Structure 1
Amino acid sequence: MSEKSNMSRRSFLKATGGAASASVIAGTAAGQETTTQQGGGGGGSGGTLNLINTGTMSTLDPIKATDTASGRVIQQMFDALMNYPDGAIEVQTQLATGYERSDDFTTYTFNLKEGAPFHGDFGEVTAQDFIYSWERLAASDNSRRAYFILDSIGIQHETDSEGNYKPGTLAVEAVDDYTLRVTLEEPFHATLPILAYTSFAALPEGILGDIQGYDGEMEYQTFATQNPIGAGPFQFETWQSNDEAEVSRFPNYHGETAQVEAVNWRIIEDDNAIYTYAMNRNADYFPIPTPFYDPNKVSVENTDDKGRETGTYGPVRNGATVNYLGVATINAFYIGFNTNRVEKPARQAAAYAMNQQQVIEQIFKGRGQAAYHFTPPNIYPGGPDAYTQHAEQNYPYGYNQTQIQQARQVMEDAGYGPNNQYEFTFTIYSGSDTWNQTAQLLRDQLASAHISMNIESAPFSTLLQRGREGNLQAYSLGWVMDWPAPDNFLQLLNPPQTDTSQDAPISYVNWSGTPAANRAASAYEQIEDNPAPTDEAEAARNESYVQMEEANWEDVVFLPVYHETDERFWYQNVDISKFGAAGPSRQMYNTTSIN
């Protein structure tokens, strides 16, 4: 790169509105712990690992995928420089063998594995492949994660007069075939963790022609739906939309070759169908939807130093007792309000009416923690105790309370009453019985506050598309970490990035123009201005994180509902590693075995 961009992260966001997209939720290391309590083991006798994908897949292109369902499959096929082994939050090298960092935290030099092959006949991974792949991330029209590389990590680049990225100007250099040098505009505290995200995975140079300088060896639609090429432990076999996806063992994988021959995901969104599929033993490793879950059947036998609980669950409907793992992962589930389409008094009334603890206990059967911040407890400034203390002392809508009288009063102060009810529609994703129950509870409570709330459901992919287009009033979604820091969550509440008139808003709330929105934008600027991995910068970020949470409380843009405890269950023929706080969507299956 010949010239450093003179545009700060803050200016970039103002100019572009944040080239992002909502994500809901997307690896192999030695010495992994396994969680087999009974049976299991094996040593790799082949076979197919059968799983359930509980959401609609949208693409197999790592730079376009923003949904967890697609990410689960992509995670098996594409490798990056770094990785969260089994969803732990301590990153390790993957296609890199090591790295050096400059004293000012702005230059990273990565050494790559030699002889790490791509699938098919595309040769080995080199530094030039990463340059190509990251240019796609920054410049391709197919990318929904451009802000990751241009803003979040902030690799040096040039911009045009309108603040848009100039193709080909990323400060990423191939020193030689196996040495990659990356220069940032300024330090970023989560550089290595964000490079573990699959958007930064390696693709063969020139395989697609969606950026300048390349004609492409494959049609884009073929790559994205029928023949994705990566360097992961599994290679693509099939994807039938809304039905199933399958990958097979890549025998020449640069790491530990997969013990199972294949991984198959049946795509099922309906809770009843998910449970029936698992009870018919069609899935080896699976979730149990909350309507069919009985907390009294959990027997925790061990809690490790990371708080992960293992034991057994059962008997289940088919008579089996299955293995159990419960992990408090880094996530937040919430109701989002399009502030252009739902008035503030109605949003405040919803917050007064919502008793998060009641929802956890009565609807989610204790499978999580009541949410009062968007930042999850395990990464909140000061930790879980600080999270709870701040919420108990400052949450304005009743901590663990339903305050219907206050909800009614705020609506009456806004001019509404029995003969003049306010109306809005809350959209949930299809198949989620728990969100349907939550919506019904909220609807019934708001009926006493002069609000008629309609409930509608939509397939997950449809909900996301409507959100991007600004065609939702209120909606239910969740966010699972891309990197384990509050800014990864609070970027969804950075007002410039919530504008649905932009091409790819990161959330769908159109938050702007109010004193609270201005404070939130200012606080996020403070976060952007203090990105370094130093104690001083972290203290400044922590102060701003709390300011953003309180600004959100004031305007009720996101109404936090719960932080999920991720639980998985599996039959005795499976030997699988524990996942960590990054969650099961980051888990890779090459070390899993089936008897």
Structure 2
Amino acid sequence: MSEKSNMSRRSFLKATGGAASAVAITGTAAGQDGTTQQDGGGGGTLNLINSTMSTLDPVKATDTASGTVIQQIFDALMNYPDGEIEVQNLLAESFETSDDFTTYTFNLKQGAPYHGDFGEVTAQDFVYSWERLATSENSRRAYFVLDSIGIQHETDDEGNYQPGTLAVEAVDDYTLRMTLEEPFHATLPMLAYTSFAALPEGIVGDIQGYDGEIPYQQFSTSNPIGAGPFQFERWQSNDAAEVSRFADYHGQTAQVDAVNWRIIEDDNARYTYAMNRNADVFPIPTPFYDPNKVSIENTDDLGRRSGTYGPVRNGATLNYLAVATINSFYIGFNTNQVEKPARQAAAYAMNQQQVIEQIFKGRGQASYHFTPPNIYPGGPDAYNQHAEQNYPYGYNATQIDQARQVMEEAGYGPNNQYQFTFTIYSGSDTWQQTAQLLRDQLASAHIQMNVESAPFSTLLQRGREGNLQAYSLGWIMDWPAPDNFLQLLNPPQTDTSQDAPISYVNWSGTEAAQQATSAYEQIQDNPAPTDEAEAARNESYVTIEEANWQDVVFLPVYHRTDERFWYDNVSIEKFGGAGTSRQMYDTTELE
């Protein structure tokens, strides 16, 4: 890639740093069809609650707290409208696909402006943005573009990406062409991920050929420039973040003036903040949640349940929405450090339904596969039938006798107990209770399970280094297909001696591990969006699930149901299976 020499269509940030003004401009803006549209509705600030954020850079963010803010600021070619899993065009006006599903040609919307003085979105911006995704030292999602979608590229003798060789071409200002190594069934859903969002070409200089228009630290923390419906205002770590309406947005201009997120981690503080009506839309932490206060009035064709909740502490009755989003939460075992009999004993002892009912107060579904029910081959009914008929450790049951037996057969007993440590995220009361329940059950099976907690970032770092014996984590979809989840159970990708393992279980050397490896190879050999390839993938998905059952590498625990509560002054669209972090708030209105 040659160094950019002509910056004529953009300019450097103004002395203000390019931050949006505190009050959105009023008037009208040109719509995507060339007509004018009203610049917002009733106005006001939408107040929400968020967790600790890590970055505003789309290629670096891996947490949903950062992602929900990034979703408002940056636009990609495609989008999950309101978090539903059927993708639609966003910055793409239209697209064409070659007969062999390897070449995609996108026609971009014309006149879609960036925030600040950075001109309009062009095809060359996507070339730059995706090169950052592939090669920037700040990128945490290079595998999205190089492996998952598999855009053609060159590598060196060690298999590393050669910068500037990505097969993404700006045919002209508004035509983008992308060539894949082979077909990939989830190409368009992947392109809806904010990692693929458009950035002004050369905005930061963290890749070859670009010096950068603003320092990276400024871009990623205090001045992100995108083409989304909201522009950045402020982010104070562990305090608050705010965006304001972008009056010149290429789509429907936002109805609210601004969105403000108060960053609160403590459950009691979150609930108090919401009960004081400081938040308009919010979650209710499980310790304060009462399932008896839910009244369901409607279930739509996507299975989303809506109604009311209350009365709550301040006397209000809230609006309520529950959605079975695409996620999976589990206990992972480092197979190098926790023996198979102990892993099997944990599976026998775990009663997933008991955990859901007693600890999570019914806010989810008991999990027996790592693949979520709504994307399992054949759907939720097939998921439940396969689990009920085949799960080897007791379906909705605790089997302490079997747990004790498998440990005694391995040579353990009252005077020779097995020990391992289970590490949980320090911010989760529900995982703390789950761990304590499992610990107490395993005590009757000659296992002393120690429970420790660690900050989320520490847990991930220790996992990557292979320094966890057992750990609790969850996976929320990048794209709505089983291979997005089951890549975590592809044994070669679980090796913590390699760079950036996708899970921390070191699964190898067993018959089940070989079955899982072969099955994942079959998935990779059948990536096309055809019925024949899908059938081959579906067969392999089930094989991997059963191989995991055999070795208990992941112990599935639950699939979370996401809930939303809000006061009557808010009109907000339902979110879908992709979750709230994929929803933009441009259509939300306040009285």
- 5+ residue gaps, structure 1: 2-28, 31-42
Secondary structure at the aligned position of 1:237 is classed as strand
Matched, 1:114 2:110: yes
Query: Which secondary structure does the structure 1 equivalent of 2:354 belong to?
Result: helix
1:2-46 Cα offsets, whole Å, 9 max, x none, are xxxxxxxxxxxxxxxxxxxxxxxxxxx99xxxxxxxxxxxx8322
Residue 230 of structure 1: CA displacement?
1.1
Tell me the distance in 1 between the aligned counterparts of 2:504 and 2:263.
Answer: 26
Aligned to 2:348, which of 347, 352, 357? 352
Instruction: Work out whether 1:95 is the aligned partner of 2:79.
Output: no
Secondary structure of the equivalent of 2:365? Answer: strand
What is residue 504 of structure 2 aligned with on the other side?
Answer: 508
Residue aligning to 1:287? 283
1:179-198 → structure 2 map (5 Å cutoff)? 179-198=175-194
For 1:450 and 1:273, how far apart are their aligned partners in 2?
40
Task: Give the alignment partner of residue 44 of structure 2, picking from 35, 38, 47.
Answer: 47
Is the CA contact (8 Å cut-off) linking 1:56 and 1:459 kept in structure 2? no
Q: Structure 1 CA distance, aligned partners of 2:506 and 2:138?
A: 23
**2:486 equivalent to 1:487:** no
Task: Pick one of 203, 224, 230 that aligns with 1:207.
Answer: 203
* Greater alpha carbon shift after TM alignment, 542-551 vs 236-245: 236-245
CA shift at 1:292, angstroms?
1.2
Match of 1:538 among 524, 530, 534: 534
Match of 1:570 in 2: 566
Matched residue, 1:498: 494
2:222 & 2:425 partners in 1: Cα distance? Answer: 26
Q: Name the amino acid aligned to 1:171.
A: A
TM-score by length of 2: 0.92
Moved more, 90-99 or 137-146: 137-146
SS at match of 2:154: coil
Amino acid paired to 1:447 = A
Aligned counterpart, 1:165: 161
* Distance (whole Å) between structure 2 residues aligned to residue 105 and residue 589 of structure 1: 33
Output the CA distance in 2 between the equivalents of 1:446 and 1:242.
38
Does the 8 Å CA contact 1:144/1:504 hold for their aligned counterparts? Answer: no
Q: Give unmatched runs, 5+ long, in structure 2.
A: 2-30, 33-39
1:470 aligns with 2:449: no
Q: Does 1:335 align with 2:334?
A: no
On the 8 A contact 1:269/1:430 being kept in 2, the answer is: no
Q: Secondary structure at the match of 1:325?
A: strand
1:510 deviation in Å? 1.9
* Matched residue type, 1:150: L
Q: Is the 8 A contact 1:56 1:460 kept in 2?
A: no
- 2:45 is matched by which residue type in structure 1? T
Q: Which moved more, 1:509-518 or 1:140-149?
A: 509-518
How far apart, in 1, do the equivalents of 2:395 and 2:472 lie? 21
Range with bigger deviation, 572-581 or 451-460: 451-460
**Which digits, 9 at most, give the CA deviation of each residue in 1:107-140, with x for residues without a partner?**
1110111111111121111000000000111111
Q: Deviations over 1:151-181 (max 9, x none)?
A: 1111111111111111111111111000001
Letter of the aligned partner of 1:541 in structure 2? R
Deviates more, 1:192-201 or 1:112-121: 112-121
Q: Which residue in the other structure is 1:322 paired with?
A: 318
Asked if 1:432 is matched to 2:432, the reply is: no
Alpha-carbon deviation of 1:547? 0.6
> Counterpart of 1:275 in 2: which secondary structure?
helix
Please tell me whether residue 407 in structure 1 is matched to residue 403 in structure 2.
Answer: yes
Contact in 2 for aligned 1:269/1:432 (Cα 8 Å): no
Q: Report the equivalent of 1:67.
A: 63
CA distance in 2, matches of 1:469, 1:114: 47
Give the whole-Å Cα distance in 2 for the aligned partners of 1:230 and 1:193.
Answer: 20
Tell me the SS of whatever aligns to 2:171.
strand
User: Secondary structure of 1:516's match?
Assistant: helix
Amino acid of the residue matched to residue 67 of structure 2?
Answer: G
What letter corresponds to residue 120 of structure 1 in structure 2? G
Pair 1:549 & 2:545 matched: yes
Q: Give 1:91 shift.
A: 0.3
| TM-score scaled by length of structure 1 | 0.91
Q: Equivalent residue of 1:564, what SS?
A: strand
Is 1:128 the equivalent of 2:124? yes
The structure with the largest alpha-carbon Rg is: 2
Identity of aligned residues (%): 87
Q: Which amino acid aligns with 1:341?
A: Q
Kept after mapping to 2: 8 A contact 1:426/1:473: yes
Work out the CA distance in 2 between the residues paired with 1:501 and 1:58. Answer: 26
Give the Cα separation in 1 of the matches to 2:465 and 2:268: 31
Q: Partners of 2:168 and 2:109 in 1: how far apart?
A: 18
* One of 126, 135, 142 as aligned partner of 1:146: 142
Measured after TM superposition, the shift of residue 344 of structure 1 is 1.7
Q: CA deviation at 1:519?
A: 1.3
| 1:45 partner amino acid | G
Cα distance in 2 for partners of 1:496, 1:117 equals 43
CA contact (8 A) 1:329 1:581 kept: yes
How far is 1:349 from its partner? 1.0
Aligned equivalents of 1:231, 1:466: Cα separation in 2 = 37
1:321, CA displacement in angstroms?
A: 0.2
445, 451, 458: which is aligned to 1:449? 445
Shift of 1:539: 0.5
> Aligned partner of 2:336: which letter?
N
RMSD between aligned residues: 1.5
Partner Cα separation in structure 2 for residue 502 and residue 285 of structure 1: 42
Amino acid in the other structure paired with 1:522: S
Q: Does 1:396 align with 2:392?
A: yes
Secondary structure (helix, strand or coil) at the match of 2:249 reads coil
Greater RCO, CA 8 A, separation 6+: 1
Task: Give SS of 1:247's match.
Answer: strand
Shift of residue 375 of structure 1?
A: 0.4
- Please tell me whether the aligned partners of residues 79 and 95 of structure 1 are also in contact (alpha carbons under 8 angstroms): yes
**Cα distance, 1:470 vs structure 2:** 2.4
SS at match of 1:389: helix
Instruction: State the alpha-carbon separation in 1 of the partners of residues 453 and 238 from structure 2.
Output: 17
